[in-house]
Chain A
Amino acid sequence: MLELRRVSKHYSSIPAVDDVSFSALPGEVTGYLGPNGSGKSTTMKMITGLIEMTAGHIFFDGKLIGDDLIGYKRRMGYVPEEPYLYNHLSGAEYLSMAADLRDLPAREASERIDGLLRLLSLYDDRHASISGYSKGMRQKVLIAAALLHNPDLVLLDEPFSGLDVGSALVLRSLIQELAGRGKVVLFSSHELDTVERVSHRVVILHKGKVVADDSIASLRSMMELPTLESIFSQLAVEQDTGSVAGQIADLIHA
Chain B
Amino acid sequence: MHKLVFAVFDRLPLQFRVLYRQFLLRIVDLEALSIQADIPRFLGQFAGVLIMFSLIYTLLAWAYLGYAEAGLVSFRFHMEHHLIATMMLVVGLFSVLTWDAAFPDKRDVLVLAPLPVRARTILLAKIAASGVILALAVAMLNITAGFFWPFVLWVRSGGAPGLLRWFGAYWFTMAAASAFVYGAVLALQGLMALVLPRRMFLRLSALLQIAAFCVFLGGYFLQPTLRLPEQLAAPGNQPVLAYSPTYWFFALFQQLTGTMQPGMGWVARRAWVGLALAVAGSLASLLLCYTRTMRKTVEEPDLVPASRRPVWRPRLGGSLHSAVLYFSVRAVARSRHHRLAFAVYLAIAFAIGLAFARDTLSMPAPRAVNLDFVVSTMLISGMIIVGLRKVFALPISLSANWVLRITQLRPSEGYIAASRRTLLVLGALPAWLVAAALSLFFRPWTPAAEHLAILALLCLLFTDLSLVGFAKVPFTCSYLPGKSNFQFVFWAFVMIVLPGAALGGIQELKALPHPLQMAAIAGVILAMDTGVWWFNRRRARSALIHFEEQEYEEVMSLGISLLQPSMRRVEQ
Measured CB to CB, the residues of A under 8 A from B are 10-12, 14, 16, 42, 48-51, 54, 70, 73-74, 76, 78, 80, 82, 84-90, 92-93, 96-104, 106, 124-129, 132-134, 145
Say whether B319 faces chain A, with CB atoms less than 8 Å apart: yes
Give A103 to B301 CA distance when docked, in angstroms. Answer: 35
Q: Is the CB of B331 within 8 A of A12?
A: no
- Complex formed: what's the CA distance from A82 to B402 in Å? 11
Contact call B323/A132, Cβ cutoff below 8 A:
no
Is B485 engaged at the interface, CB distance under 8 Å to the other chain? no
Contacts of B306 in A (CB 8 A): 90, 124-128
Cα distance, A70 to B308, chains bound together (Å): 37
Name the segment of B406-414, B496-504, B516-524 touching the other chain: B406-414
A50 CA / B315 CA spacing, docked (Å): 29
Contact with A along B534-572 (1 / 0, CB 8 A): 000000000000000000011100000000000000111
10 nearest A-B residue pairs (beta carbon): A100-B323, A11-B555, A101-B407, A127-B306, A84-B399, A100-B319, A132-B302, A88-B334, A132-B303, A12-B570
Give Cα A51 to B405, complex, Å. Answer: 10
Residue pair A88, B303 in contact (C-beta under 8 Å): no
Contact B402 A84 (CB under 8 A): yes
Q: Is the interface of B mostly helix, strand, loop or mixed?
A: loop
Task: Give Cα A162 to B348, complex, Å.
Answer: 46
B63 interfacial contact with A, CB 8 Å: no
**In the bound complex, do residue B570 and residue A88 qualify as a contact, i.e. CB atoms below 8 Å apart?**
no
Closest to A11 in B: B555
Min C-beta distance of B225 to chain A, whole Å? 42
Q: Which of B287-316 contact A (CB under 8 A)?
A: 301-308, 311, 313, 315
Q: Does B1 contact A (CB under 8 A)?
A: no
Q: Give the docked Cα–Cα distance between A74 and B405 (Å).
A: 12
**Do B330 and A89 touch across chains, with their CB atoms under 8 A apart?**
yes
The answer on a CB contact under 8 Å between A70 and B406 is: no
Grouping DSSP codes into helix (H, G, I), strand (E, B) and loop, the A interface class, with mixed when no group exceeds half, is: mixed
**Which residues of A sit under 8 angstroms from B307, Cβ to Cβ?**
127
Complex Cα–Cα for A208 and B103 (A) = 47
Interface membership of B327, Cβ < 8 A: yes
Return 30 A-B CB contacts under 8 Å, by A number.
Answer: A11-B554, A12-B555, A42-B554, A48-B406, A49-B406, A50-B406, A54-B572, A70-B408, A70-B409, A73-B407, A78-B406, A85-B397, A86-B327, A86-B396, A88-B335, A97-B323, A98-B403, A99-B319, A100-B320, A101-B320, A101-B323, A101-B403, A101-B407, A103-B319, A103-B409, A124-B306, A127-B308, A129-B334, A133-B303, A145-B403
Contact A132 B304 (CB under 8 A): yes
Residues of chain B within 8 A of A98, CB atoms compared: 403, 407
Other A-B contacts than A10-B572, A51-B554, A101-B403, 9 sampled, CB-CB below 8 A, are A16-B554, A49-B405, A74-B409, A80-B402, A87-B397, A88-B397, A127-B308, A132-B302, A133-B303
* B216-275 interface with A by 8 A CB criterion: none
**Which chain B positions have C-beta within 8 A of A101?**
319-320, 323, 403-404, 407-409
The winner among A10, A48, A103, A125 for most chain B CB atoms within 10 A is: A103
- Report if B77 contacts A (CB, 8 A): no
Quote the shortest CB–CB distance from A47 to chain B (angstroms).
11
A145 vs B323: C-alpha distance when bound (angstroms) = 14
B322 at the interface (CB under 8 A from A): yes
Number of interface residues of B (CB under 8 A): 41
Query: Which of B306, B307, B318, B410 has the most C-beta atoms of chain A within 10 angstroms of its own C-beta?
Result: B306
B202 to chain A, nearest CB (A): 11
B331: chain A residues at CB < 8 Å are 88
Is B160 on the interface with A (CB-CB < 8 A)?
A: no
CA distance A96 to B315 in the complex (A): 12
Is B171 at the interface (CB under 8 A from chain A)?
A: no
Give complex CA distance A12, B400 in Å: 26
A42 to B554 CA separation, bound complex (whole angstroms): 10
> Which residue of A42, A51, A84, A97 has the most chain B CB atoms within 10 A of its CB atom?
A97
Complex: how many Å from CA A128 to CA B307?
A: 8
Closest A residue to B556 by beta carbon equals A11
Q: Is the CB of B403 within 8 A of A73?
A: no
Select which of A54, A82, A104 is within 8 A of B399 by beta carbon. Answer: A82
A-B contact count (CB 8 A): 113
Question: What is the distance, in angstroms, from B115's C-beta to the closest C-beta of chain A?
Answer: 17
Does B42 reach chain A (CB closer than 8 Å)?
Answer: no
Contact A86–B555 (Cβ < 8 Å): no
The answer to whether B409 touches A50 (Cβ under 8 A) is no
Q: How far is the CA of A70 from the CA of B409 in the complex (A)?
A: 5
Query: Which residues of A sit under 8 angstroms from B399, Cβ to Cβ?
Result: 82, 84
**Min CB–CB distance A111 → chain B (angstroms):** 15
Expressed in whole angstroms, the Cα–Cα distance for A92 and B322 within the complex equals: 15
Separation of A126 and B309 alpha carbons in the complex (Å): 12
A78: chain B residues at CB < 8 Å are: 406
Q: Are A97 and B326 in contact (CB under 8 A)?
A: yes
**B303 proximity list for chain A (CB < 8 A):** 125, 128, 132-133
The complex places the Cα of A88 from the Cα of B475 at a distance, in Å, of 12
List, in ascending order, chain A residues with CB within 8 A of B322's CB.
Answer: 100
Chain B contacts of A97 at CB under 8 A?
323, 326-327
Contact B555–A73 (Cβ < 8 Å): no
Give Cα A155–Cα B399 distance, bound, in whole angstroms.
Answer: 19
Convert B373-410 into 0s and 1s, putting 1 for each residue whose CB lies closer than 8 angstroms to a CB of A.
Answer: 00000000000000000000000110110111111111
The answer to whether B406 touches A73, judged by C-beta atoms less than 8 angstroms apart, is yes
A102-B409 contact given A12-B555, A128-B304, CB 8 Å threshold: yes
Chain B residues within an 8 Å CB radius of A16: 554-555
**Taking CB as reference atom, which chain A residue is nearest B322?**
A100
Would you give the shortest CB distance from A168 to chain B, in whole angstroms? 21
A88, B396: Cβ atoms closer than 8 Å = yes
Which residues of A sit under 8 angstroms from B305, Cβ to Cβ? 128
Within the assembled complex, what's the spacing in Å between the Cα atoms of A125 and B307? 9
Contacts of A106 in B (CB 8 A): 315, 319
CB pair A103–B320 under 8 Å, yes or no, is: yes
| B-side contacts of A127, CB under 8 Å | 306-308, 311
Q: Is the CB of B572 within 8 A of A11?
A: yes
A92 vs B396: C-alpha distance when bound (angstroms):
18
Chain B residues near A76: list those with CB within 8 A: 406
Contacts of A49 on B, CB cut-off 8 Å? 405-406
Please tell me if the beta carbons of B400 and A86 are within 8 angstroms of each other in the complex: yes
The interface residues of chain A lying within 8 Å CB-to-CB of B403 are: 85-86, 98, 101, 145
Tell which of A16, A51, A90, A133 has the most Cβ of chain B within 10 Å.
A90
A196–B405 Cα distance when bound, in Å, is 32
Q: How far is the CA of A78 from the CA of B402 in the complex (A)?
A: 10
CB distance from B39 to the nearest CB of A (A): 24
- What residues on B are CB-neighbors of A88 within 8 Å? 330-331, 334-335, 396-397
Point out the residues of chain B lying under 8 angstroms from A99, CB to CB: 319
